[in-house]
Amino acid sequence: MPPKESETAALTPEELRIPLLHAVLAHVPFDGWTSKAVEHAAADLHISNAMAELSFPGGATEMLEVHLSNANDILTEKLATLDLPSMKIRDRITLAVRTRLEQSGEARETVRRGLFTLALPQNLALGSKALWNSADTMWRAAGDTSTDHNWYTKRATLSAVYSAVLLFWLNDESDGYEDTWAFLDRRIEDVMKIETAKYKLRQSSANFPSLSRFLGRLRYPGE
């Protein structure tokens, strides 16, 4: 139920941010992440459009960014209640992706509208950032502590997996999204095959002669 006018009249723009974000979610499935949706949300809260603009100077796009950030926070809290350390890495990541999608199970149109907004040319940077942050949230929850190039490759790989599964999920009409979870398992399996191949390559190349050492000996034969 929308708050009464008396409940919002005395709130500051900062205090209105969360109520306004919650209110706009009811209109996004119909109007998208647009100024029109923000205007409807402001009307629900009995505040002026000017006050809504003070709360979110970046408009609906800023609201979408905050919404996605909040979703990551909720995911972190949820995964913290699960026994991830007892699972294999692949199972941790699979569960993280699945949990994130299940968070939005009843709001697929809101997600679809968000992707449409992020796909606009002026929002591509924001879309890439949001995808990367989601992958980072999942890896951190899975216990990843890497700091070398693996930190980047893990997130880049998971970003690709998550985006593919997300698009599949948006069009999945199977019972309980069974087809999506099967698709997710296949994508994770593909990634694990690649990682296994990379590991074997590193192991086999460990005993290869070092080209740099060889060239160094040619140049400095006395060493």
Q: Is the pLDDT of residue 214 over 50?
A: no
**CA neighbor of 65 nearest in space, from 151, 5, 123:** 123
The residue to which tokens 């699945």 are assigned: 98
The domain locations on the chain are 87-203
User: For 143-162, what is each residue's pLDDT tens digit?
Assistant: 998 888 889 999 999 999 99
Backbone angles phi, psi at 192, to 5 degrees: -65, -35
User: Is 63:56 a contact under the CB 8 Å cutoff?
Assistant: yes
Q: What is the mean pLDDT of residues 130-140?
A: 95
Percent of the chain predicted with pLDDT > 70 = 83
Burial (Cβ within 10 Å: 0-12, 13-18, ≥19) of residue 165:
buried
DSSP code for 82:
S
pTM here? 0.83
Q: What is the mean pLDDT of residues 159-170?
A: 95
- Report the greatest alpha carbon distance in the chain: 87
SS3 221: coil
User: For 54-70, what is each residue's pLDDT tens digit?
Assistant: 999 999 999 999 999 99
Q: Is the pLDDT of residue 207 over 70?
A: no
